[in-house]
Amino acid sequence: MLELCNISKKYKEKIALNDVSLKLDNGIYGLLGPNGAGKSTLMNIITGNLEPTEGTIKWDGKEVKELGSNYRSLLGYAPQQQGMYETFSGRRFLSYIATLKGISQSSMEDEINRVLLYVNMVEKSNQKIGTYSGGMKQRILIAQAIIGNPKLVILDEPTAGLDPKERVRIRERIAELSKDKIILVSTHVVSDIESIAKKIILIKTGKIIDYANVNVLCDKYNATNLEDVYMKIFGEE
Ligand code: ADP
Ligand code: MG
């Protein structure tokens, strides 16, 4: 169980997150909001890459600050920008990440093959990342996030810049991630998460506007689908 307690983040005068509280148990969650809403800031705080100005994060009731490396070892993260090693092959990049994650030499090859198979990148794994399409890069980014079978997987806009076919493929891969995890996926595209997320977290200018499943949201906003909910909340922007 992941718990965010009154998280706020200020960048100088700019309030990027304003008193965000959330409780997440196993399942897929969609973090939905327009550009600048605070999605990446929230994800960077959850992953420990950014300190909140206020508030705490707890894992199973314990502050993650105190859990230290125990928390990091149950975490998988695919950041928004593709800071990947273009001259590495996909396989070499994954073994680099696996080493950073402390995967043992003896299980390294099996684990890398497992995640490559999962994202359907075995055949291209020895080619340089620089030769990959955007969708292939995203698939390798997801593969590295699930090395070591983490309990908490954070995917920041995994479908950004992809064509419709690739979006569907990524969505299917995320939907099939095992259900004994917390999976948090950010996007500003409703169709990425509408059919796969157990709950949608709607975020607008640093505030959680709503947090519920799609049916509840549709009823509440008198909307026919999530797109309609989104337009009612963010339409004026
Ligand atoms: P999203 O991921 O939803 O597009 P971000 O979390 O990247 O949103 O940004 C939230 C807000 O915080 C935006 O207004 C953005 O301009 C601002 N912001 C993000 N990072 C910084 C930074 N390093 N310094 C100042 N402002 C920032
Ligand atoms: Mg972002």
Q: Please write the tens of the pLDDT for every residue from 104-137.
A: 999 999 999 999 999 999 999 999 999 999 889 9
Distance of CA 105 from the midpoint of ligand 2 (Å): 34
Find the 139 Cα to ligand 2 centroid distance in Å. 18
Q: Is the CB of 89 under 6 A from ligand 1?
A: no
Q: What is the pLDDT of residue 163?
A: 85
Substitution site in 31, 35, 41, 185 for ligand 1 pocket (most atoms within 8 Å of beta carbon): 41
Mean pLDDT of 141-152: 95
Rounded mean pLDDT of the chain? 93
**pTM of whole model > 0.85?**
yes
Relative to the CA of 38, which ligand 1 atom is closest?
A: 6
Q: Which atom of ligand 1 sits closest to the CA of residue 35?
A: 4
- How far is ligand 2, taken at its centre, from the CA of residue 123, in Å? 31
The alpha carbon of 193 and the centre of ligand 1 are apart by a number of angstroms equal to 22
pLDDT tens column, 71-97? 988 999 999 877 778 999 999 999 999
In percent, how much of the chain has pLDDT > 70?
99
Quick: pLDDT tens for 154-183. Answer: 999 999 888 888 889 889 989 988 789 999
Looking at the chain, the whole-number percentage of residues with pLDDT higher than 90 is 82
For the chain, the DSSP string reads: -EEEEEEEEEETTEEEEEEEEEEE-SEEEEEE--TTSSHHHHHHHHTTSS--SEEEEEETTEEHHHHTHHHHTTEEEE-SS----TTSBHHHHHHHHHHHTT--HHHHHHHHHHHHHHTT-STTTTSBGGGS-HHHHHHHHHHHHTTT--SEEEEESTTTT--HHHHHHHHHHHHTS-TTSEEEEEES-GGGTTTT-SEEEEEETTEEEEEE-HHHHHHHTT-SSHHHHHHHHHTT-
> Atom 12 of ligand 1 has which residue's CA nearest to it?
16
Arithmetic mean of pLDDT, 34-39: 96
Which ligand ends up closest to the CA of 206? Answer: 1
